[in-house]
Structure 1
Amino acid sequence: MGGYEEIRGNLIGMLEELNDRLSKITEDVKHVAEPPEKDFAEQAVQAENYEVIDFLGNRARNEIAQIKDAIARIDAGQYGVCQSCGEPIGEARLKALPYSDLCIKCASQQGC
């Protein structure tokens, strides 16, 4: 595989989308400072909502880090190479998961 300009552009688009999503999640979290509901059932629902929002925020931050790493690998000429075994990562895997740093074999062994 050669030039990865198109993939790099797609990764940057994904990064912008995730940053926007994370910004919206952060806005939602700021509303957590509102006083808790008086009703116990409503408090339980609020707690679940905050857990979901926190999960989504953490997941977005993790994906942002993976995308930034992939962009750095492209820039360093190391993209498309498994970080575990050093073999090329299949084109189909890179299309499905463009920020992948493991080939399918290594990912399977690691439970990813």
Structure 2
Amino acid sequence: MKSDAERKAQLLARLGQLQARIETIEDELVSHSDRDWEEMAIEREDDEVLEDLGQSAQAEIRMIQAALARIEAGSYGDCAYCGERISEQRLDILPATPFCKDHARAADRR
């Protein structure tokens, strides 16, 4: 069983990776200088993919920040819906999850 300090270190490491990814995406999005129409169309398609990746990273950052807040509050690892302990296996795979397996399914259906 990992301690909250180990989970916090894991979450902070992932947060750093995501923030670096967002910086790279932002740099790429502002670096275009081609004026050829065909290349501009390709760049626009690439930009859409980068924007989607950036939005995904931002959503994961929000989840990590919420998990870090739960660690500080002493409620990390407890399901936000039922209050039961989230399994270690689930936390190993999804360390930022606020829900146990059963209630994650219910949250996905909403």
The TM-score, its normalising length taken from structure 1, stands at 0.87
| Identity rate, percent | 35
Aligned length: 109
> CA contact under 8 A between 2:34 and 2:40: conserved in structure 1?
no
Counterpart in 2 of 1:106? 103
Distance 1:12 1:76, change over 3 A: same
2:99 maps to amino acid = L
What root-mean-square deviation, in Å, do the aligned CA atoms of Structure 1 and Structure 2 show? 1.8
Distance 1:89 1:31, change over 3 A: same
Take 2:95 and 2:9, find their aligned partners in 1: how far apart are those partners? Answer: 11
Q: Could you report, residue by residue, the CA deviation over 1:62-112 in whole angstroms, capped at 9, with x for unpaired residues? A: 111111111110011010111112211111100100000011001112227
Correspondent of 2:66 among 52, 66, 69: 69
Q: CA deviation at 1:43?
A: 3.9
**Does residue 95 of structure 1 match 2:73?**
no
Take 2:17 and 2:2, find their aligned partners in 1: how far apart are those partners? Answer: 26
Runs of 4+ off more than 4 Å: none
Structure 1: where are the runs of 5+ without partners? none
Counterpart in 1 of 2:42? 45
Q: CA deviation at 1:29?
A: 1.1
Take 2:28 and 2:37, find their aligned partners in 1: how far apart are those partners? Answer: 20
